[in-house]
Homo-oligomer: A and B are copies of this chain.
Amino acid sequence: MDIEQFVAQSIGEWRSMRSGHSLAFQQFEDVLSEISIKRFTEDHQKISELIQASSQPTNNQYCAPFCMEWNAESDWEPDDPSEVSSGSCLIVPIPMDKKSGKLLRSVGYAESAAAESDYRFLEDGTFILNTHYEQSIAEERIWFISEHVRCRSSVLKTSAGSGILQASFASEVRKIST
Contact = CB atoms under 8 A, between A and B. Distances in A.
B145 A139 contact: yes
A169 interface: yes
A21 B26 CA distance: 18
A171 B164 CA distance: 11
A19 B28 CA distance: 8
Interface of A is mostly: strand
Contacts of A17: 21, 23, 26, 28, 167
Given A28-B75, A164-B173, 7 more contacts: A19-B19, A21-B171, A126-B126, A139-B145, A146-B157, A149-B164, A167-B171
Interface of A: 15, 17, 19, 21, 23, 26, 28, 30, 32, 75, 122-124, 126, 128, 139, 145-146, 149, 151, 153, 155, 157, 162, 164, 167, 169, 171, 173
